[in-house]
Structure 1
Amino acid sequence: MTIKLNDLVGSRIMMTDSTRKLTIKGETKAYKVAKIPLDLCHYNDQNGRIATHISEHISNGNTLNKSALEEYNGVLEDFIYKSNPTALDATKTNIDKFGQRVPGVVLNDGRIIDGNRRFTALRKLKRENGKDLYFEAVILNQEEGIEERDIKRLELNLQHAEEKPVDYDPIDNLVDVYRDLIENKLFSEIEYVENTNKKPSEVALMMKKADLMVQFLDYINAEGKYYIARDLALDGPLQEIVRILENQFKGIDVRTILSTSHGDKGEQAGYFRVRNALFTAIFSKRKLNETDDKGDLSRDIREMGKFIINASNREEFLDEFDDIVEEVYETFQDLDAVDVSSVREVGRELADVRKEAQKVIDKHIEDSRLVTAKIKPVELLNKAFDDLKRIEVEQVKRMDPSTEQEFLIVYEEVQRKLKEFGEALNV
């Protein structure tokens, strides 16, 4: 049976004197707030905050059945809680003491658009104390011309544009961006910027990371299994990889370089080679088991970019690393299905390969550092000489006595330093 909340106003649902301002279809106005029994509301299974949890649930062969609403709500409540237990507990304590202060937003069919955490806290409090509790929210009627695009725009505005932090897991946020801007093209970049109060450069970077996340999942034969990216905590490493790739392949965009319309097949091949080496490094260096050293994967990838990919030893490294990349890639591609446990199983199976990968990476980083250290004195001396050349002899001749005395002190220090260099070089 389909719920229509507006039909229940005056019976099970009571209107309050409170209002909440919302902007819908470009018009901002105050909407009345209703007190809605909890059993008439349900979570939104498209909620970006729990996107990776839902993808894991579905990948494990489960379904989400709204016809069994309490069971459906129970599953998603668990996901909402897991997404940020600390914040949820704080919200529950606050509502228990002071009541629900900020109204939510629901559709006429009971789907919650804003207020999932408050709704979850109320559900938990009702189970704990047995009292009749209500979810206070604005009711929006889709039959009044409110389309899915308007609903999503409102969600973005409420989540991002009201100067409060988005407490999504970063990967859940990337999944949301991928679905709305890349996969379903619900919004253009400019529209997303306008509705989230973000800078264009921030949105562009998020889109690149989101696309690269999808490329990584494809690389490990886990298409659509976003929860694996969350489990591997890939947000920071993906950001470093975007910067490395776009620095290495000037003018490219990680979102478009693999398209069939990209004319330079050699550049695509080079991109694949470098990208897959970085993806393999993620698998090799990321903590896969509780006993593994956590380390700092973002820093590790950044160092690979600085001392290998963007250094003179890149080709030598790639030649040595190609066999490792191929073995990791083929091992994943040979699996019928990939999930978090199988990623860890492959990690154990390829323990020796992972160690070899880290050994090769560390060796080439150290070699590059040594080369950098060797040429550093030359770079510094050249810089010092460039600075010296900026001092004009005529200016030296016209110095007043006080300045001349200061100049002579420094001049003698320079002479002593040059003598030390000469003795070190036996000249």
Structure 2
Amino acid sequence: MNKNLLDSVGNQITTTTGARKLTIKGETRNYTVFKIPLELLFYNDRNGRIATWISQYTSEEGPLNPESDIDKYNEILHGFIKKSNPGALTKTKNNIKLFGQRVAGVVLQDGRIIDGNRRFTCLRELKSEEGMDCYFEAVILDTTNGITSKDVKRLELNLQHAEEKPVDYNPIDNLVDVYRDIIEEKTFTEAEYINHTSQTKTEVSNLIKKSKLMVEFLEFINAKGKYYIARELNLDGPLQEIMLILNKLPQGSEADAVKDTLFTNLLTSKQGDLTRHIRDIGNNIIKTENVTQFIEEHEDIVGEIYEKLREEEQNSVTQVKEAIKEDSVIIEQSRKIVEEYIEKNKLTNARNKPIDLLNKAFNTLDNIDSVAVSKMSDENKHEFKKLLDKINSTIGLLESKI
């Protein structure tokens, strides 16, 4: 595809009276909006909103290439956009049907859509379903005029985060985008990413940590780069809990052992809520003096699950579950260890609770100013004495149980 949309301005492409303000290379100005036939455009396969869907397709079918068959390419990515958030797509489509496209997109001069992939999808559907005469209104960026790929990506981040707030992004797709931009391809430094997305240093730091954990988990289950597996397992919550647990541990062999044990428990748990499961392990085991023994008891289980998954590359959640299903004894052993440790800690907490409550009661009593007591009115002193009698009675009852 060697086309240049700007060559078709005044012919297939018409100039509108609209403009969109963009910041490129540090300069903010108004860019002309054009009315572009849909067939001249194609989706952005680097769209973070569908990163996991694209990883699944390339894993199963091979690379996507708009140059080989643009219609097939657009149809495939159309499906990904729709599946990524069907509710949001329907809402946007109904809005466009009633009022037209109110927010202009951004495309490159070769037809690649940088901003507005969902709006483009809605227009494609309205044209197909309603027979509407649809055009995509967008700014056309001329990348032959000094705009680099990094400038384009910087603009994407700004539009997605600073202006639109990608609340409808699947969190795993967002982690893939972060990992790719900062760790894998090093398009941006952490500081640059913070600047371009208007997120805090803590927010971006946590996203980086979680994205690394996601990649490490996929490598652990022998599914490197199969990001869709993390999406299908809804791993954002569990990864958040694992990150919080590891943040409290010094880096080293024990932290690595804890991480591998938690990864294993994501696979062996029979609980539907993996986030709660990991949180329970963290609160009742990892944060106690039992953590070393717990890790040691899990060592062989972790090793066997890991080796079982190495027998062949894992390409789906179903395949992963089937791979470890044969080791039902090991899985049950893992579950039993977790249950026993959690129950043991809960019993310990229950036994210690009376002491904790008594300590709190003593601290409260110790804060009472005796001088203030002596200066109370007779009515208050009478009420105070009644409460002291109740306290003494309760103390006597407790003493009788010792």
Q: TM-score range by the shorter chain?
A: over 0.9
After superposition, residues 122-133 of structure 1 pair within 5 angstroms as 122-133=123-134
**What amino acid maps onto 1:125 in structure 2?**
L
More deviation in 269-278 or 401-410? Answer: 401-410
Once the two structures are superposed, what CA deviation does each residue of 1:156-183 show, in whole Å capped at 9, x if it has no partner? 1111111544311110000000011111
Which position in structure 2 is the counterpart of 1:260? none
Distance apart, 1:396 and its partner CA: 3.1
- Contact kept in structure 1, 2:89 and 2:118, CA below 8 Å: yes
Query: Which of residues 259, 263, 266 is equivalent to 1:282?
Result: 266
Provide the TM-score with structure 1 as the length reference.
0.90
Residue in 2 that maps onto 1:263 = none
SS in 2 for 1:143: coil
Instruction: State the alpha-carbon separation in 2 of the partners of residues 297 and 64 from structure 1.
Output: 33
* SS state at 2:322 partner: helix
Q: Displacement, 1:8?
A: 0.4
Give the counterpart letter for 2:125 in structure 1. Answer: K
Q: Distance in 2 between matches of 1:356 and 1:16?
A: 67
Equivalent pair of 1:34/1:139 in contact (CA under 8 Å): yes
SS at match of 1:248: coil
Please list, as runs of the form range in 1=range in 2, the aligned pairs for 1:134-153 lying within 5 A after superposition: 134-153=135-154
2:207 is aligned to 206
Once the two structures are superposed, the pairs formed by residues 40-59 of structure 1 within 5 Å of their partners are: 40-59=40-59
Structure 1 residue aligned with 2:357: 380
Q: CA deviation at 1:337?
A: 4.4
Give the SS at the match of 1:144: coil
Paired residue for 2:303?
A: 326
Counterpart selection for 1:310 from 287, 291, 295: 287
Counterpart Cα distance in 2 of 1:299 and 1:400: 52
1:382–1:35 Cα change, 3 Å: same
Deviation at 1:80, TM superposition (A): 0.9
Given that residues 308 and 324 in structure 2 are in contact (C-alpha distance below 8 angstroms), is that contact kept between their aligned partners in structure 1? Answer: no
Q: Which amino acid aligns with 2:44?
A: N
1:332/1:338 contact within 8 Å kept? no
Counterpart amino acid of 1:350?
D
Could you say what secondary structure the match of 1:60 adopts? helix
Q: What percent identity do the matched residue pairs reach?
A: 50
* Structure 1: 5+ residue stretches without partners: 253-266, 287-292
Which amino acid in structure 2 is aligned with residue 136 of structure 1?
A: E
Under a length normalisation based on structure 2, what TM-score does the superposition of the two structures give? 0.95
Say how many residue pairs are matched.
401
Contact 1:248-1:309 at 8 Å conserved across structures? no
Any idea what SS the aligned residue of 1:410 has? Answer: helix
> Could you tell me how far apart the structure 2 residues matched to 1:60 and 1:142 are?
32
Cα separation, 1, equivalents of 2:212 and 2:91: 34
3-state SS, counterpart of residue 248 of structure 2: helix
Which residue of the partner structure matches residue 29 of structure 2? Answer: 29
- Tell me the CA shift for residue 194 of structure 1: 2.0
Any stretches of 5+ residues in structure 2 without a counterpart? Answer: none
2:334 alignment partner, SS class: helix
CA-CA distance at 1:353 after TM superposition: 2.8
CA distance in 2, matches of 1:65, 1:181: 24
Helix, strand or coil for the counterpart of 2:194? helix
Provide the residue aligned with 1:271 in structure 2: 255
Query: Structure 1, residues 104-141: CA drift from partner, whole Å, max 9, x if none?
Result: 10010101000000101111122223343211101011
1:406 to 370, 383, 388: 383
1:346 to 323, 333, 341: 323
Task: Output the CA distance in 2 between the equivalents of 1:312 and 1:17.
Answer: 69
- Give the drift of 1:190: 2.3
Runs of 4+ with >4 A deviation: none
Give, in whole Å, the separation in 1 of the partners of 2:389 and 2:26.
72
Q: Quick one: distance in 2 between partners of 1:98 and 1:111?
A: 25
Q: Cα distance, 1:386 vs. partner?
A: 2.5
Q: State the partner residue of 1:356.
A: 333
2: CA distance, partners of 1:19 / 1:205: 37
> In the alignment, what sits opposite 1:224?
225
Q: Which of 364, 371, 380 is matched with 2:348 structurally?
A: 371
CA–CA distance in 2 between the matches of 1:242 and 1:186?
A: 24
Structure 2 equivalent of residue 423 of structure 1: 400
Moved more, 377-386 or 118-127: 377-386
